[in-house]
Amino acid sequence: MTSHSEPSAPRASRGRRSVDDHAAAVRDLLHPALERLGRDAVTVPLPEARGRVLARPVIAPLDLPPFDNSQMDGYAVRSADLPGRVTAVATIAAGHAEAALAPEPGPRAAAPIMTGAMLPAWADAVVPVEAADPPRFVATGEEVTLPEAPAGQFVRAQGSDVTRGTTVLEPGVRLGAAQIALLAALGLVDVPVRDALRVAVLSTGDELVQPGETLPPGRIYDSNGPMLAAALEDAGAAVLTVQAQEDSPEGLRAALARLDGVDLVVSTGGISQGAFEVVKQGLEGGVEFVSVALQPGGPQALGAVTIASGTVPFLGFPGNPVSSLVSFEMFLRPLLAGPRPSVRAVLEGAADSPAGKHQVRRGALRDGRVRLEGGAGSHLLHALAQADCLVHLPVGLERADDGAEVEVWIV
Ligand SMILES: Nc1nc2c(c(=O)[nH]1)N[C@H]1C(S)=C(S)[C@@H](COP(=O)(O)OP(=O)(O)OC[C@H]3O[C@@H](n4cnc5c(N)ncnc54)[C@H](O)[C@@H]3O)O[C@H]1N2
Ligand code: MOO
């Protein structure tokens, strides 16, 4: 949150921990685990590299394009021969270098050439076929009239995209479709990526039923488990298990004791003021329960828990789905995947925010204007699903009027 905070923002009141202070506490808690990830690289095959974070620089082993080639279907020519009549020589198709490597023809020659095909060394320009007279490919030995073509026209020069030996991707880059395309174009198959943070997600609450099962009265489907698993994976973490947990402190401790080989446990629910707060009752001691000046996402828990493979960091997010996802966005995601893109936008309609709290509303951003999706309620999943941004109403801003400028994170 540090990079997004307002330096002059009033501090949270009434003994609540500020958003920045809690973000710092979570950062400190996860520092050793994240430092290890920054150090340790693993090699994954290219098809598995999507969403991973590059651990080492990538140095281009070849030029891109690897050879001069045509940008158009047309005729490869010497610009000095044009305009005028030229005689067609052998056709050069993409992937077939023989015709391009054939001995240089005499003056006033033109080779029919296809997009992506290797330009012969004797040619320095390409005339698109539709500019020819006749506007088609003529047979070898026939004549065609071509207009003037400056040297370099429609030629994609070797190395014009990437020069061999240059660093094309830096460590820390998240690999998406474009980066994977670049690695593939360079012929690379083994990609050094940061080891992913291995996370266990535990949903707590006796009311929870798994999607696909029938829904008895008074019960609800577990949406936090799938939501956080998706959010974590989207941020580059490896979710080793997603479990719903019966509401008993002993059951929770037993479930933790069975977990093996995770770097972090994240739970949802069971941390506020109810009579059956399973996380609070089961983990008191190693875990701290705090009230953060954030809405939604006020109740928070953090500390350490003992699992089969040792003691690992623990984060307890509140059970309300929007609270849980906002907690993830504010405290965990920035550590895993860096800050969300942040813009200033003009608010459509007014919004009220509780005194002394940093409120995060859901919004839809269009052309620099943001419309709130749904109210402040932290159960409003449909509105969350319509939103494409989070709207920040920091401490001290108890009302934002229609037309006010607000900070928005694009999610
Ligand atoms: N007396 C008070 N009551 C509450 C306070 C408070 O300060 N005083 N804080 C409210 C706020 S704010 C929040 S947020 C919630 C947090 O409560 P818990 O973290 O203890 O969560 P639960 O009580 O277990 O559940 C809250 C809510 O969320 C639903 N839920 C829980 N898990 C899931 C799941 N996996 N998928 C979908 N929905 C889930 C649950 O059914 C409840 O409706 O406490 C307020 N109360
Ligand atoms: O803080 Mo709760 O997290 O508003 O719904």
Q: Are residues 257 and 315 in the same domain?
A: yes
Ligand 1 atom nearest the C-alpha of 272 is 20
Q: Are residues 95 and 126 in the same domain?
A: yes
Residue 245 has pLDDT above 90, yes or no: no
Please tell me the predicted confidence (pLDDT) of residue 7. 35
The mean of the pLDDT values for the chain is 94
Q: Are residues 308 and 364 in the same domain?
A: no
Q: What is the pLDDT of residues 67-80, one digit of tens each?
A: 999 999 999 999 99
For ligand 2, say whether the CB of 324 is within 6 Å of any of its atoms.
Answer: no
For ligand 2, say whether the CB of 300 is within 6 Å of any of its atoms.
Answer: no
Neighbouring CB atoms inside 10 A of 92's CB total 25
- The answer to whether 409 and 329 have CB atoms below 8 angstroms apart is yes
Residue 6 has pLDDT above 70, yes or no: no
- The answer to whether 204 and 319 have CB atoms below 8 angstroms apart is yes
Q: Are residues 188 and 54 in the same domain?
A: yes
Q: What is the Å distance from ligand 2's center to 224 Cα?
A: 14
Question: Amino acid identity of 101?
Answer: L
Q: Cα(152)–Cα(289) distance, rounded to whole angstroms?
A: 68
Residue 1 has pLDDT above 70, yes or no: no
Tokens of 7: 């330096």
- Mutational test site, ligand 1, from 221, 247, 248, 272, max ligand atoms within 8 Å of CB: 272
Q: Are residues 32 and 90 in the same domain?
A: no
Helix (H, G, I), strand (E, B) or coil at 14: coil
Q: Are residues 179 and 102 in the same domain?
A: no
Ligand 1 atom nearest the C-alpha of 244 is 35
Please tell me the predicted confidence (pLDDT) of residue 14. 60
| Inside any domain, residue 13 | no
Q: Are residues 75 and 58 in the same domain?
A: no
Per the rule left: phi > 0, alpha: psi between -120 and 50, beta: everything else, 16 is: beta
Cα-based angle 290, 255, 233 (whole degrees, multiple of 5): 70
In this structure, are strands 109-113 and 74-77 parallel, antiparallel, or unpaired? antiparallel
Preceding amide of 112 cis, omega within 30:
no
Q: What is the pLDDT of residues 147-191, one digit of tens each?
A: 999 999 999 999 999 999 999 999 989 999 999 999 999 999 999
Q: How confident is the model at residue 19 (pLDDT cuts 50, 70, 90)?
A: very high
Reported ipTM: the value is 0.98
Residue 340 has pLDDT above 80, yes or no: yes
Task: Give which of 246, 264, 163 is closest to 208, Cα–Cα.
Answer: 246
| Inside any domain, residue 324 | yes
Token look-up 């490597």 returns 101
Token look-up 């996860």 returns 30
Q: What is the pLDDT of residues 81-102, one digit of tens each?
A: 999 999 999 999 999 999 999 9
Q: Cα(289)–Cα(208) distance, rounded to whole angstroms?
A: 23
The boundaries of the domain holding residue 304 are: 19-40+195-337
Number of folded domains that form the chain? 4
For ligand 2, say whether the CB of 378 is within 6 Å of any of its atoms.
Answer: yes
Q: Cα(228)–Cα(203) distance, rounded to whole angstroms?
A: 10
